[in-house]
């Protein structure tokens, strides 16, 4: 398969590109920095897209490809100043709009668009089990971003593409993401449940993020929103205790919500609230999870770091 990937130099992108190359696919990396991509992702064909939020994706990067995987977007894990909010929203909404504009001009155009999305669609929903049919949260910044983001991706259906929006949860990865920020205090024995610990964390190991994307590329029945999370979410308390056991460190020191609020502002709600997201669509399609068990997934991620 010939696949174009945006956001390929991020943690998920690097892992996905490696998996695509390993199975013999041809990979085009669409990036702001072709020189960096050329050195960090050998075996790929870099293609420059210097202003994703302001210009259409170059049709030449997409023409004669079978599929596009769109992963690019500004990091969410930062203090949400007005400027950061604009960056988070515009990089996803305008960036995706410009991917679709590039697809419209590509000839022949790809048949498949996998567009990264997020479990932030669901907002804070306590213990309710949430599959892909659950409505988006209202009055929630991230949910509003995800709704607009997915709407832009869905526009590619009008061009004849099969479109999948991968609503990815909290990724357990050897580098980057939530786990990287959790490891230092936990290794010092200073970790513990956050804000009481009862909120659900829709976790997923990086192996299954990549595996699910490959599965959606290959499965003609995969379309629309697809939750990319482990089969069972864990509470924040369960996650903290499992990480403590993995590191052989105590994990009992509570972290009050107020402390996180003072440190990160509104962004702290990602940690202090939660959603019990389930991957109903992946399960219905028969996706075989590589890392369905939390403790083993943490061990795999920590030991690979």
Q: What is the pTM of this model?
A: 0.96
Residue 205, H or E segment:
strand 203-205
Per-residue pLDDT at 260: 81
Q: Provide the domain count of the chain.
A: 1
| Residue whose pair of structure tokens reads 């009992």 in the numeric block | 252
10 Å CB burial of residue 187 (0-12, 13-18, 19+) is middle
d(C-alpha 173, C-alpha 136), whole Å: 26
Determine, yes or no, domain membership for 263.
no
Determine, yes or no, domain membership for 238.
no
Determine, yes or no, domain membership for 98.
yes
Per-residue pLDDT at 305: 64
Per-residue pLDDT at 230: 98
Who has greater pLDDT, 131 or 255? Answer: 131
Contacts of 263 (CB under 8 A, 6+ apart): none
**Which residue range(s) make up the domain with 131?**
2-170+204-229+278-289
Q: Where are the beta strands (DSSP E) in 79-179?
A: 112-118, 129-130, 162-168, 170-172
DSSP class of residue 203 equals: E
Summarised one tens digit per residue, pLDDT across range 145-171 is: 999 999 999 999 999 999 999 999 999
d(C-alpha 232, C-alpha 139), whole Å: 26
How many residues are present in the chain?
Answer: 305
Partner residues linked to 117 by β-bridges: 167
Q: Which of 234, 226, 213, 210 minimizes the C-alpha distance to 296? A: 234
Average pLDDT, the chain: 95
Given strand 2-6, what is the order of strands in its sheet? 45-48, 26-31, 2-6, 67-70, 112-118, 162-168, 224-228
Per-residue pLDDT at 126: 86
User: Reduced to 3 states, what is the DSSP secondary structure of residue 47?
Assistant: strand
Per-residue pLDDT at 177: 80
Determine, yes or no, domain membership for 182.
no
Q: Pairing relation of β-strands 67-70 and 112-118?
A: parallel
d(C-alpha 17, C-alpha 3), whole Å: 9
Residue 208, H or E segment:
helix 206-218
Determine, yes or no, domain membership for 261.
no
Q: Which of 297, 125, 119, 118 minimizes the C-alpha distance to 199? A: 125
Determine, yes or no, domain membership for 183.
no
pLDDT > 90? residue 265: no
Per-residue pLDDT at 258: 84
Summarised one tens digit per residue, pLDDT across range 9-25 is: 999 999 999 999 999 99
Q: Which of 305, 37, 51, 296 minimizes the C-alpha distance to 187? A: 305
Cis check for the bond before 108: say yes or no (omega within 30 of 0): yes
Determine, yes or no, domain membership for 191.
no
Q: Pairing relation of β-strands 26-31 and 2-6?
A: parallel
d(C-alpha 163, C-alpha 217), whole Å: 10
Task: Give the pLDDT band (50/70/90) at residue 174.
Answer: confident
Task: Give the pLDDT band (50/70/90) at residue 175.
Answer: confident
pLDDT > 80? residue 263: no
d(C-alpha 151, C-alpha 36), whole Å: 31
Interval 38-45 mean pLDDT: 95
Interval 236-261 mean pLDDT: 92
Residue 103, H or E segment:
helix 82-105
Summarised one tens digit per residue, pLDDT across range 44-98 is: 999 999 999 999 999 999 999 999 999 999 999 888 999 999 999 999 999 999 9
Determine, yes or no, domain membership for 253.
no
CATH of the domain at 215: 3.40.50.720
d(C-alpha 91, C-alpha 274), whole Å: 24
Percent of the chain past pLDDT 90, that is, above it, reads: 86
Residue 284, H or E segment:
helix 280-285
């Amino acid at each position: 398969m010939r696949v174009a990937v945006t956001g390929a130099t991020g943690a998920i992108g690097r892992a996905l590109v490696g998996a695509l190359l390993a199975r013999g696919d041809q990979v085009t990396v669409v990036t702001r920095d072709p020189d960096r991509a050329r050195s960090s992702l050998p075996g790929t064909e870099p293609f420059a897209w210097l202003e994703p939020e302001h210009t259409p994706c170059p049709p030449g990067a997409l023409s004669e490809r079978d599929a596009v995987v769109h992963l690019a977007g500004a990091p969410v894990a930062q203090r949400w100043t007005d400027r950061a909010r604009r960056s988070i929203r515009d990089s996803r909404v305008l960036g995706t709009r410009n991917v679709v504009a590039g697809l419209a001009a590509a000839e022949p155009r790809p048949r498949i668009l996998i567009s990264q999305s997020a479990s932030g669609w669901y907002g804070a929903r306590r213990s309710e089990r949430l599959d892909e049919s659950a409505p988006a949260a209202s009055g929630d910044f991230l949910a509003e971003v995800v709704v607009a983001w997915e709407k832009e991706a869905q526009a590619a259906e009008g061009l004849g593409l099969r479109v999948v929006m991968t609503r990815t949860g909290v990724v357990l990865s050897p580098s980057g993401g939530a786990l990287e920020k959790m490891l230092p205090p936990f290794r010092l024995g200073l970790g513990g449940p956050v804000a009481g610990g009862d909120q659900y964390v829709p976790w997923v190991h990086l192996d299954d993020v990549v595996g699910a994307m490959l599965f959606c590329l290959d499965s003609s029945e995969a379309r629309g929103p697809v939750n990319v999370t482990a089969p069972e979410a864990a509470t924040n308390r369960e996650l903290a205790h499992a990480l403590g056991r993995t590191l052989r460190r105590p994990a009992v020191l509570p972290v009050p919500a107020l402390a996180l609020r003072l440190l990160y502002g509104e962004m702290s709600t990602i940690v202090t609230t939660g959603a019990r997201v389930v991957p109903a669509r992946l399960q219905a399609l028969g996706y075989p999870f590589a890392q369905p068990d939390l403790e083993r997934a943490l061990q795999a991620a920590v030991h690979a770091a």
